[in-house]
Structure 1
Amino acid sequence: MQEIRVGKRGWKMYRQEYDVIVAGGGTAGIAAGLSAARAGAHVLLIEKNSYVGGTAASGLPFIDFFNRDGKQITAGIAEELMKRLFQEKAALGHIRTSGGHLNSVTMIDPEWVKITAEEMLLESGCELLYHSFVCGAKVEEDCLKSIVVANKNGLTEFRAGCFIDTTGDGDLAKFSGARYHLGRESDGLCQAMSLLFKLGDVDVERATSLFSENPIPACPVGGDHEYNLHISGKLSKWNDIILKEGIFEHPDHNIWAGTMRENELTYVNTIRVSEKNGADAYELSEAEIEGRRQLKKVIRFLNAYVPGMEKAHITSIPNGIGIRETRRIDGEYILTGEDIIEGRRFDDCIARNGYCIDIHDPKGQGWGVSRIQSEEQSYDIPYRCIVPARIDNLLVAGRCISTTAEALASTRIMPSCMALGQAAGVAASMAADRKLAPRKLDVKSIQTILRGNGALI
């Protein structure tokens, strides 16, 4: 096992034991690292990429800080990040939408997410270790004691008072022996993946005028007037071309895209890769290849047939295909689709969400939504959903929490993941400080701290 060595002057010195270790630097991991460090814990955040941000760093906008009635449901660290981005002219702020399945959209600049989130983490005292990922764990009597991390230095063992799995795929939970489910209950298939991409030299006003669902009227950075900055709808008017040229397998293909800057689409979401397991390295590799194969066809189609995109060209592709669903840990409570539709409340609430159930068919045949039906148009996520059923010294946050496949289709959005990460960070720092298993913590104490830090619960 690789030992950490002291480097020359100016090199970062990493310990091998921390109060809290966060595995994964996506949106949930950012919030977890921040809240744990701000609570006084010595924190290490481990990230496989060269930056933090996860899906937000791919350009996908934050959606549904609000419910359908226009009431803000998520705040805390997620709102703080948005305000910092807005100050950098790297976000347009929250924009309420009308029609469609979204309640609000917050357009962001993905490159500034990387910069701003990193600054916030460093300011908190959280240490960052990039180009590294968890590849093993040591468990004694159902208690997680240490993890094994792989990077250019080889294999290194790290110990902590408490660990947080924010890998998205539940990698650390799996290596720790936690029970989990993969994909939907009927056949184990996961929701379709999407490879996002950014386009330059787009006449955004012209292109977005073709789509009326969920309009986002705003003035982009660099612009001088308002117009619709969002594409949300189907490519139905081009069905004959799509099927004839084999661009997609099915008619009425969905497309979502949007921007915050003039002359670019910061993200385009239309590629769909189905029947692949994103938690398996071989299938994930196949999905990446298939995503780029589709991308080549898509850009040629957009250039040839979509007004406003005649000169569009790819300016960037994220570092990895977008994964909606893989493992879900078995926690002390399993959140269900019924809980979401009925807008259920829980005494141990640590996060709230107002987003619908949004399922991208695992076989690639479109998507569908189910809306929250309660009067408050939101639901609670209980603390028990982030506590594995039988492994101690471990919490999970983000899309790998304890839910059914149906419920995951709502909880997986970024504001919800950040709210869960913030709660996990508070709980982990408390568990490490008091030398208690997370399941034995007083949830009311966690809730008090969260409210004091701006969380809406």
Structure 2
Amino acid sequence: MEKSFSIPISRRAFMKLVGMGTVGVLTGAAVHSSKAAAAPIGASGKGLPTLLSADVCVVGGGAAGTAAAVSAARKGAKVVLIERGISLGGLATQGCVFPCMPTFAEGSDTPYITDLNNRMEKQGVSPFQDVTDSDTFYGGGRARYVPEYLSLVYEEMCAEQGVDILYNAALVGAQTDGGRITACIVQTVAGLGKVEAKVFIDGTGDALLSRFVGIPVEKGSEKTGRNQPMSLRFEMGGIDMAKVYHFFRDELKDGWKTPLSDRLIIDALKDGRTPFVEFDKMKTTAKFFQGGVSRGELTKDDVVYIQAFSIPGKPDVMSMNCPEMPALEFSSTDAVSYSKAVSFGRKMMRRLAAFFIKNIKGFEHAYICREASMVGVRESWRIRGKYYMEAEDYLKAHHFADAVCRTAYPIDIHDVKLDLFKKLKKGDYYEIPYRALVTNEMSNLLVVGRCASGSFAAQASFRIQPTCMSMGEAAGIAAAWGLSQNVAINEIKWEEIPESMRSYVSK
């Protein structure tokens, strides 16, 4: 007879599952503490059904996690990818984060990114961005992924490699045994269940799996305790792009007639960026938006950060890289504060949309056609791995023998301006070592994406999507390699894997 598992599970029944130290349950750490100690307690998992078993289990189907899952499967591993939503891509698809930021480092696109870009181009929505001024926007990573196509391509990549995707599955704990993770416990439509594997990859963005198994973590700025501010992005349709262009160029007359600005704005009308930000350089534009504050149409919070991009394949739609909820009021690492930020951000979104429609020519018939279904979190928890990335690694352009990728993206902190902020000289870049993806505590755990091992400032550089993809790609390769060679994941020396099998080789 087929075994069954019903939901809802009663509190009494759940408490019977509670054991000693195999499923992590987060403690109530102070909201503004930069260090957050994990205290694993919880359920033994005894009696829970095994939903899937695999060589590699990846938790989180965002930029890093999907890359890890596909890459591990390409190297012959049987892979399960756990995703709490119903589409892959994370912030790129659910969070309306469009487009990717450039790495400002030539040669940074690893094979997975190149393959993804080629696949997206075949969909008829080219991800490639052409910019005439190579000193402003250069290097790898500068792709534009239309969300509706990206989620489809990600699924196709997983299907080709036999990756099992478990959608609508929220991680609620993990089983461990002797310094190894043996299973993830997830809440699904069918109730609680577990996924067993030999290697686990934390691509949650919030280091959730890592915290459940007791990996040391940090959160927020070491100076202020604050996390970077969150965003709640949206899209608007029904826009007359030509009228928008002429409004900014001919009516605001804020420097748009220079060759560079003209070129960037003309590109924006096709598929690039439009000039809604950088008030320090755009005084007329700044006064225009500040006028909305004076009239009570907008708040000061609304105009701190305004940015918009047009989208390939959507000729009358713009992706709004805003609003940005103030970090002084909201925290991405506090459940109540996070939830209040969503409601606050939605009100900001509506005010901005109403202001655009009323005041910007070309928006007269515009409307909100999409709201993000995922909050844009720039930074929350970060692990303390075998190697801890520091600002100095960026500032001094450090290279590593076990490097898994390169980038020169600046230390981009939206809340706190640090004295160390600077852009590397063109041609310089730093690398991320494999050791920043593994821990001392768990021998079969890899951590990828914005929750990798590093300081607040270092994370502000390596958090961009292309770099997260490359970290995920390397983690997938390492996971499969370690299994094939019977080597513990946290003891692998990336530089000793044959060059032909690595996604990146430090030069």
**SS at 2:449 equivalent:** coil
Verify the 8 A CA contact 2:399 2:506 in the aligned structure 1.
Answer: no
* 1:355–1:101 CA distance, 2 compared to 1 (3 A): farther
Deviations 1:427-454 (A, max 9, x none): 1122233343212113124472554x57
Q: 1:103: which partner in 2?
A: 138
Q: 2:110: which partner in 1?
A: 75
* 1:369–1:138 CA distance, 2 compared to 1 (3 A): same
RMSD, aligned CA: 2.9
Matched, 1:236 2:286: yes
* 1:375–1:236 CA distance, 2 compared to 1 (3 A): closer
* 1:172–1:87 CA distance, 2 compared to 1 (3 A): same
> Shift of the alpha carbon at 1:267?
1.3
Q: 2:10: which partner in 1?
A: none
> Shift of the alpha carbon at 1:251?
8.7
Separation in 2 of the partners of 1:342 and 1:232?
33
**SS at 1:108 equivalent:** coil
Alignment equivalent of 1:403, drawn from 438, 447, 454: 454
> Shift of the alpha carbon at 1:369?
9.4
Verify the 8 A CA contact 2:323 2:348 in the aligned structure 1.
Answer: yes
**SS at 1:389 equivalent:** coil
Alignment equivalent of 1:426, drawn from 477, 484, 489: 477
> Shift of the alpha carbon at 1:241?
1.7
* 1:192–1:119 CA distance, 2 compared to 1 (3 A): same
Larger radius of gyration: 2
**SS at 1:359 equivalent:** coil
Q: 2:336: which partner in 1?
A: 282
Alignment equivalent of 1:268, drawn from 317, 320, 323: 320
Q: 1:43: which partner in 2?
A: 79
Greater CA drift, 30-39 or 370-379? 370-379
Verify the 8 A CA contact 1:330 1:389 in the aligned structure 2.
Answer: no
**Amino acid paired to 2:77:** A
**SS at 1:112 equivalent:** helix
* 1:367–1:61 CA distance, 2 compared to 1 (3 A): farther
Matched, 1:158 2:195: yes
**SS at 2:185 equivalent:** strand
Q: 2:236: which partner in 1?
A: 199
> Shift of the alpha carbon at 1:358?
1.0
Greater CA drift, 265-274 or 115-124? 265-274
Verify the 8 A CA contact 2:66 2:154 in the aligned structure 1.
Answer: yes
Verify the 8 A CA contact 1:169 1:326 in the aligned structure 2.
Answer: yes
Give ranges in structure 2 of 5+ residues lacking alignment. 6-49, 250-255, 280-284
Verify the 8 A CA contact 1:97 1:103 in the aligned structure 2.
Answer: no
Greater CA drift, 392-401 or 184-193? 184-193
> Shift of the alpha carbon at 1:374?
4.7
TM-score, length-scaled by structure 1 = 0.87
**Amino acid paired to 2:239:** V
> Shift of the alpha carbon at 1:290?
1.1
* 1:103–1:179 CA distance, 2 compared to 1 (3 A): same
> Shift of the alpha carbon at 1:74?
2.0
Separation in 2 of the partners of 1:416 and 1:139?
30
Higher strand share: 1
Q: Percent identity at matched positions? A: 29
Q: 1:145: which partner in 2?
A: 182
Verify the 8 A CA contact 1:243 1:251 in the aligned structure 2.
Answer: no
Aligned length: 438
Separation in 1 of the partners of 2:424 and 2:171?
40
* 1:280–1:398 CA distance, 2 compared to 1 (3 A): same
Verify the 8 A CA contact 1:4 1:15 in the aligned structure 2.
Answer: no
Separation in 2 of the partners of 1:227 and 1:390?
46
Separation in 1 of the partners of 2:101 and 2:482?
32
Matched, 1:361 2:398: no
Give ranges in structure 1 of 5+ residues lacking alignment. 6-13
